[in-house]
Amino acid sequence: MEQKALSLVDPATGRLASPYAENIACPLCGSTSSSPRVEKHGFTYVNCRQCQFVYVNPQLTHQAILEVYNDEDIREFFFKELLLAHVERDQRAEFEGRLRELQLLVRTSSPRLLDIGCAAGLFLSLAEKQGFRAEGLELNQLYVEYVMNNRSVTVHQKTLEEMRYPYGAFNVVTLWDVLEHLPKPLETLREAARVTAPGGVLALTTINHACINERLLRGRWRYYMPPDHLCSFTPDMLESLLSRAGFTVLKIQHHYMFEVLAERSFRFLAPAHSPGGLTVPTNKFRKLSYVILALASQFVFNTLKSGDLLTVYARKSQEP
């Protein structure tokens, strides 16, 4: 993704090249007043002066966004990465936990579930086993083909807006790691609200720039990732956004990522090379030190509600 970002940059200016760029107003409040926050790979993340939303501006044109997400190397990288054994193992545990939360919140039997950005379909498959009637939306053709050939679930290679589902078609709508990729997140949340039945549940995960790691690392924070991540949020911002879309937030969970800080500040504890990402070191002393630091920082920063990632559960208003 970094290589793709640099390919869109004008070498003369070090900024996003004009054929790929367009200046936009704040996607949340429409203000045209902003201040630079972070420069990354030729892209600029700005703070809206009106609502404090953080987004990329200038942003990629619609055509450039399509070019990025249809890039064969990028599609293949994410496809292979998500199917690594340790990745699917970790995701399975996370998804099963989220499904338990949803089962406590949903008030109907055999609920219909829509997973927007379903990737390789693992969450859909687990949801079906737990009694949900699930289907997914995914734009990466490699994922779609994999799901159709390997999972007994329904998937469509279309956006939510393109599907034109009827009002209240689903009891549960999920957006796992999707919101930060969207040029117009509020519009997508409003459409998600339209297709969610009154009293139904929306669940999502996204990135939180109001976290300790972002303050410590700023431009080196892992989740500033242009052109893939176009925006980021805070808990208060998500609560306001979801309210505007027609949801009431029920719960926000913080997930502090120690490895994000460890990559910069505690490299001496980790192996020099790690094909599956940063792993716990094998040396016993270093492993113990790493685990102690990880657990201590997790406890402190989770207590402070300052996680890099947020999981949000919200309920649709009973009113149509």
What CATH number is attached to the domain comprising 174? 3.40.50.150
Residues 97 and 50 in one domain: no
Last residue of a domain, which of 12, 40, 69? 69
**CA atoms 155, 160, 164, 166: torsion sign:** positive
Listing DSSP states for the chain in one string gives -HHHHHHTEETTTTEE-GGGEE----TTT----EEEEEEETTEEEEEETTT--EEESSEE-HHHHHHHHT-HHHHHHHHHHHTSHHHHHHHHHHHHHHHHHHHHH--SSS-EEEEET-TTSHHHHHHHHTT-EEEEE---HHHHHHHHHH-SSEEESS-HHHH-PPTT-EEEEEEET-GGG-SSHHHHHHHHHHHEEEEEEEEEEEEBSSSHHHHHHGGG-TT--TTT--EEB-HHHHHHHHHHHTEEEEEEEEE--HHHHHHHH-GGGS-S--TTSS---SSHHHHHHHHHHHHHHHHHHHHTT--SEEEEEEEE-S--
Q: What is the pTM of this model?
A: 0.85
User: Which residue range forms the structural domain that includes residue 40?
Assistant: 2-69
Residues 60 and 122 in one domain: no
Distance CA 190, CA 245 (A): 5
Residues 134 and 228 in one domain: yes
* Residue-wise burial string across 107-123, b where 16 or more C-beta atoms lie within 10 A, e elsewhere: eeeebbbbbbbbbbbbb
Residues 200 and 233 in one domain: yes
Q: Give residue 44's pLDDT.
A: 95
Q: Give residue 304's pLDDT.
A: 76
Segment 101-135, tens digit of pLDDT: 999 999 889 999 999 999 999 999 999 999 999 99
Last residue of a domain, which of 48, 69, 90? 69
Residues of the chain with pLDDT under 70: 1, 69-70, 74-75, 78-87, 259-282, 319-320
Please give the single-letter amino acid code of residue 136: G
Q: Give residue 227's pLDDT.
A: 85
Segment 197-227, tens digit of pLDDT: 999 999 999 999 999 889 988 998 989 998 8
* Number of domains into which the chain is organized: 2
Last residue of a domain, which of 25, 52, 69? 69
Residues 32 and 156 in one domain: no
Residues 61 and 27 in one domain: yes
Q: Give residue 275's pLDDT.
A: 46
Residue 244 lies inside a defined structural domain of this protein: yes
Residue 282 lies inside a defined structural domain of this protein: no
